[in-house]
Structure 1
């Protein structure tokens, strides 16, 4: 959509910080990776991350992407899609690189979140031959425009997992061995990361409880 032809009162401008944390589930023990990113709608921001090496099947960046994005509210007040595309590339000798898959983030999903902390999500790589998951965090701050917009209906993590199960499940009850194994690995990875998140939260709560007891004493 060309923003030049959109009425001013329908435009909503945000400062966006998208932090790329890590790519987990990489099936290789070595290699260098980087991310090529661009805003598909709502602006012209684009760029590359630094290269990072895989360690224990995880590539860590912990790098923030700072960009301006202009979203458009529909006639019903709901924000229309504003997509940030992240392409994961594996570096090769020289200037060559291999495409490992991509993730598309709809910034409209985060527009109603008013917080100084990043809203973190995991995304399974699309059009990829590996079962890797990219973890990112997004913070959006309203800079200009009418704040009466509405964000699209949120998709909860359990709904996301259900949708993945629906997509990876067989339509007719028949799967070849390779496809069945891939689907099994996808769900095992999501279940494992969800369990780790629960463990981290429990540990954090435990530490806070100890600190509270110290101050009480």
Structure 2
């Protein structure tokens, strides 16, 4: 307990029974390895500890490690419960006895003082993967139960999707993209057919028709009283006496 707590009025200090269960971690994109969690809790009777070391299976590591402790929390002058930090560090055990930190998580337990038992998944910080750790938290107030206070707003949970679901969704999205591409190609072809139909009947040009039917004139059209040009020329250059003789 920090020294500053001794100078705080008794009615502003609240004792809590805290039960924590470190259940598992998911979305670890590895197929082998041994993992464990170290935890620290400020202002608690049992302030630190570690889980057992467990092997990964199907991208998941399970511990189901229970922690029970007591902590003293302080109410601010604004009647808000001050922070109570829980820090977790996740480690991977390496060959030769070494370890490597995989990620960490820091949460404020004051947010859960009035929520009752709750289980949530948390996205790890300082982690190269989108791995989630699952925790169950339960807090019970043991002292000054009539003392009014409020808790900080609870942080929103991050969206959790396991690796198998991500793979399934990726396959489905790829299939949808392929279907959309085929549909787009088909619609483009349809529009092309509409703009340039190859099998549509095109009216034949009149120039392709035989001109003979238009060059045929009935004989009656030629047998009329109008003189032809050759007759007119002959009349101009033939003397009238010759024309009279010819006509007789």
TM-score of the aligned structures, taking structure 1 as reference length: 0.68
Runs of 4+ displaced beyond 4 Å: 41-44, 187-190
From the superposition, tell whether residues 156 and 126 of structure 1 become closer, same or farther in structure 2 (CA, over 3 Å): closer
**Aligned counterpart, 1:149:** 149
Instruction: Provide the secondary structure at the position in 1 that maps to 2:95.
Output: coil
**Aligned counterpart, 1:137:** 136
| 1-structure distance, mates of 2:53, 2:144 | 37
Instruction: Provide the secondary structure at the position in 2 that maps to 1:55.
Output: coil
| 1-structure distance, mates of 2:44, 2:144 | 14
| 2-structure distance, mates of 1:188, 1:17 | 27
How far residue 189 of structure 1 moved from its aligned partner, in angstroms, is 4.6
Residue ranges of structure 1 left out of the alignment (5+ in a row):
162-186, 194-217
**Structure with the bigger percentage of strand:** 1
How far residue 96 of structure 1 moved from its aligned partner, in angstroms, is 1.7
Residue ranges of structure 2 left out of the alignment (5+ in a row):
167-248
RMSD over aligned CA atoms reads 2.3
| 2-structure distance, mates of 1:41, 1:66 | 14
What are the equivalent positions in structure 2 for 1:108-127 lying under 5 Å apart?
Answer: 108-114=110-116, 118-127=117-126
Preserved contact between residue 3 and residue 42 of structure 1 (Cα < 8 Å): no
Preserved contact between residue 92 and residue 102 of structure 2 (Cα < 8 Å): yes
**Aligned counterpart, 2:80:** 78
Preserved contact between residue 42 and residue 82 of structure 1 (Cα < 8 Å): no
Larger radius of gyration, structure 1 or 2? Answer: 2
Aligned residue pairs total: 162
How far residue 40 of structure 1 moved from its aligned partner, in angstroms, is 3.3
| 1-structure distance, mates of 2:59, 2:68 | 27
| 2-structure distance, mates of 1:54, 1:75 | 47
TM-score of the aligned structures, taking structure 2 as reference length: 0.60
Instruction: Provide the secondary structure at the position in 1 that maps to 2:39.
Output: strand
